[in-house]
Amino acid sequence: MEVLLGLLTVEPMSGYDLGQTIRGSVGHFWNESYGQIYPNLKKLEAGGFVKSEKKRQKGKPDRHIYSIAKKGRERLAAWLSVAPQPEIPRNELLLKLFFSAQASPEIAIQHVERMVKSESAILGEFKRIEEQLSKGKQYPDAPYWKMTLRSGQLELKSHLRWGEETLDELRKIAKKQRSPSETKKEKKH
């Protein structure tokens, strides 16, 4: 809900634009689907937080351009001052790793490797965003945007570091299991 208000302070936009902008800016730490965006914009308008203008288009449906109203700015400011409640995370990779003694280390290795790959790609994206932020037209919000970007970068780097470290260990475990050395084994299944 408030993401919409926030982004509309930067520039008036349509619902579709908001979806695109979310993906390209806050997408790495916040997401909203269209099934959420359109109804929420209607609610915000009904409450007087935003107002809209219709723009005719040929072939395509009318574009509804939303802009933030005074009441909307107030609501945003109020929301910003409320302490964010700590998120309850859900990390499927860690959960699977936690129970990986019930499977083979090879599977765990695959999962971690996949994560390293995908997060490396995102780190690359971040570098591009960083350059864009320094070069493009200077918004007054830019310093704050950079802080969130930096957060993502540090977090990704810590994930990658952990990933490499963990892969080393998993490979050791896999090796130990393949070569029946000193420890006695029972065959499973």
Partner DNA sequence: GGGTGCATGTAATGGGTTACATGATTCT
Partner DNA sequence: AGAATCATGTAACCCATTACATGCACCC
CB of 50: closest distance to a copy of itself in angstroms?
Answer: 15
3-state secondary structure of 51: strand
What's the closest the beta carbon of residue 162 comes to a copy of itself, in angstroms? 5
* Interacting positions 21-40 with DNA (CB under 7 A): 31-36, 38-39
8 A C-beta contact, residue 108 and residue 96:
yes
31 contacts a copy of itself (rule: CB under 8 A): yes
The H or E element spanning position 63 is: strand 63-68
3-state helix, strand, coil in the chain (%, to 5): 65, 5, 30
Residues 6+ apart with CB under 8 A from 48: 69, 71, 72
Residue 48 backbone zone (phi > 0: left; psi -120 to 50: alpha; other: beta): left
Residues within window 76-105 making contact with DNA, judged by CB under 7 A: 88, 90
Examine residue 81 and tell whether it contacts a copy of itself (CB under 8 A): yes
DSSP category for residue 129: H
Per-residue contact string for residues 139-158; x = within reach of DNA by CB under 7 A: --------------------
The CB-of-59 to a copy of itself minimum distance in angstroms stands at 33
**Judged by CB, which is closer to DNA: 37, or 112?**
37
102 forms part of the interface with a copy of itself (CB under 8 A)? yes
